[in-house]
Amino acid sequence: MTVSNELASLEQEAAAALESVGDLAALAEWKSKYTGKSGALTRVSRSLGALPVEQRPEFGRRVNQLREELEAAYAAAEQRLKLAAQAAELAAERIDVTMPGRTPALGYVHLTNRVLGQVQEIFGEMGFLVTESPEVEFDEYNFSLLNFADDHPARDMQDTFYLDLPDGAPSVLLRTHTSPGQLRVMRERAPEPLRILLPGKVYRNEQVTVRSEMMFHQFEFLAIGRHITMGDLKGTLAYFAERMYGPGTKVRLRPSFFPFTEPSAEMDVSCFLCGGTGCRVCKYAGWLEIGGCGMVHPNVLRNGGYDPEEFSGFAGGFGPERIAMLKYGIDDIRGFYSGDTRFVEQFG
Which has the closest alpha carbon to 252: 273, 239, 263, 266? 266
Measured from the CB atom, the residue of 28 and 130 that comes closer to ligand DAH is 130
160 vs 265: CA distance, rounded Å: 23
Interaction site with ligand DAH (CB under 6 A): 177, 179, 220, 258, 261, 292-294, 315-317
Cβ at position 177, least distance to ligand DAH in Å: 3
Cβ at position 312, least distance to ligand DAH in Å: 13
Q: Using only C-alpha atoms, what is the Rg of the chain?
A: 45
Cβ at position 304, least distance to ligand DAH in Å: 13
* 262 annotated among ligand-binding-site residues: yes
Cβ at position 332, least distance to ligand DAH in Å: 21
Cβ at position 106, least distance to ligand DAH in Å: 34
Cβ at position 156, least distance to ligand DAH in Å: 15
291 vs 276: CA distance, rounded Å: 18
Measured from the CB atom, the residue of 295 and 344 that comes closer to ligand DAH is 295
CB atoms within 10 A of CB 291: 17
Measured from the CB atom, the residue of 304 and 317 that comes closer to ligand DAH is 317
Measured from the CB atom, the residue of 200 and 294 that comes closer to ligand DAH is 294
Measured from the CB atom, the residue of 271 and 290 that comes closer to ligand DAH is 290
Measured from the CB atom, the residue of 41 and 293 that comes closer to ligand DAH is 293
Binding region for Mg(2+): 262
Binding region: 262
